[in-house]
């Protein structure tokens, strides 16, 4: 029996991969959609296949990217929870969606760099891949119209995006995430060059806490194979270096998030 809609009219089945439409959409961004969650204070985060770069001047749909990022973000957030780094992840709902705690996002991209690449190489004339003296935390204002400009702690406090206490907590969270991610990636032969996270506020009555939100995936990290230097992150798309899905699948496979064989298992062969 097909599902019945209102008035006995057969409901049209959702298109394959299409987000369910009866939920209320709260926000649609470049890579994800937020829907109201089943309980107050929760959202469903839907990972799209859309890829954008250079402030959305370059766009494409990359089949399977959303599924991979949903699984990978789950993997990293779960690991962070296990080592006591608070974050928004509650549980995965399906291949493309996860339940998260609703936060009030601090309008900053918090970037941690271990090696020079991208804008810091350009700005300071550093060779891509050169080691930095120590992990460097920097901030960009989340504002597409302005191209996410870099901002200083002075700006952040003057415009009241975050307080000095918030910034201390943000740096501490960012460095813990960096140590965790760098270690996990090192274990599978990948160098964590840099990454960005977003941080949000949650309230327990009057008590406010900062937690890691948004996503952690190859969309938000620079990942290089330690042996070959091969790029395994969104730079593959930015710089037309090959298949983005292949790169992200390789990351997922190494982390054990995807089965080593994505082709169906062959039947066991009986010997004798």
Ligand X SMILES: Nc1ncnc2c1ncn2[C@@H]1O[C@H](COP(=O)(O)OP(=O)(O)O)[C@@H](O)[C@H]1O
Indicate whether 210 belongs to the interface with ligand X (CB under 6 A): no
Indicate whether 27 belongs to the interface with ligand X (CB under 6 A): yes
What's the half-sphere exposure (Cβ side, CA atoms, 13 Å) at 133?
0
Among 31, 72, 190, 223, binds ligand X (CB under 6 A): 31
Indicate whether 65 belongs to the interface with ligand X (CB under 6 A): no
Indicate whether 35 belongs to the interface with ligand X (CB under 6 A): no
What is the number of the residue whose Cβ is closest to ligand X?
Answer: 29
Nearer to ligand X, 6 or 54 (CB): 54
Among 70, 73, 98, 102, binds ligand X (CB under 6 A): 102
- In the numeric block, the tokens 């509650």 are attached to 90
CB of 69 vs ligand X, minimal distance in Å? 10
Whose CA is closest to 218, among 6, 89, 47?
47
Q: Are 44 and 36 in contact (CB under 8 A)?
A: yes
Binding residues for ligand X restricted to 80-99, rule: CB under 6 A: 88
Among 44, 62, 80, 100, binds ligand X (CB under 6 A): 100
CB of 264 vs ligand X, minimal distance in Å? 33
Among 5, 14, 17, 29, binds ligand X (CB under 6 A): 29
Nearer to ligand X, 44 or 116 (CB): 44
Ramachandran assignment for 112, one of left (phi > 0), alpha (psi -120 to 50 degrees), beta (any other): beta
197 CB contacts (<8 Å, ≥6 apart)?
Answer: 109, 110, 112, 173, 174, 177, 212, 213, 214, 216, 220
Q: Tell me how far apart the alpha carbons of residues 233 and 246 are, in angstroms, rounded to a whole number.
A: 10
Token pair listed for 50: 């859309």
CB of 177 vs ligand X, minimal distance in Å? 15
Among 105, 132, 157, 175, binds ligand X (CB under 6 A): 105
Residues that bind ligand X (CB under 6 A): 27, 29-32, 34, 43, 88, 100-103, 105, 198, 200, 213-214
């Amino acid at each position: 029996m097909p599902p019945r809609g209102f008035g006995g009219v057969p409901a049209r089945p959702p298109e394959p991969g299409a987000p369910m439409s009866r939920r209320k959409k709260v926000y649609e961004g470049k890579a994800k959609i937020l829907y109201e969650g089943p309980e107050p204070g929760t959202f469903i985060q839907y990972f799209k296949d859309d890829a954008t770069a250079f402030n959305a001047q370059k766009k494409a749909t990359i089949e399977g990217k959303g599924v991979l990022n949903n699984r990978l973000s789950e993997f990293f957030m779960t690991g962070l929870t296990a080592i006591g780094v608070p974050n928004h992840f509650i549980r995965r709902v399906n291949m493309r969606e996860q339940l998260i705690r609703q936060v009030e996002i601090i309008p900053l991209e918090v970037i941690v760099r271990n090696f020079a690449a991208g804008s810091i190489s350009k700005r300071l004339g550093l060779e891509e891949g050169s080691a930095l003296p120590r992990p460097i935390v920097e901030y960009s204002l989340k504002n597409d119209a302005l191209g996410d400009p870099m901002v200083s702690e002075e700006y952040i406090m003057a415009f009241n995006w975050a307080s000095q206490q918030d910034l201390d907590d943000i740096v501490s969270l960012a460095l813990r995430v960096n140590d965790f991610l760098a270690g996990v990636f090192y274990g599978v032969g990948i160098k964590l060059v840099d990454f960005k996270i977003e941080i949000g506020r949650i309230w327990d009555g009057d008590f406010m806490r900062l937690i890691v939100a948004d996503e952690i995936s190859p969309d938000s990290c620079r990942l290089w194979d330690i042996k070959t230097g091969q790029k395994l992150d969104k730079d593959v798309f930015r710089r037309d270096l090959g298949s983005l899905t292949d790169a992200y699948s390789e990351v997922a496979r190494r982390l054990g998030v995807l089965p080593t064989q994505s082709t169906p298992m062959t039947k066991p062969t009986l010997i004798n």
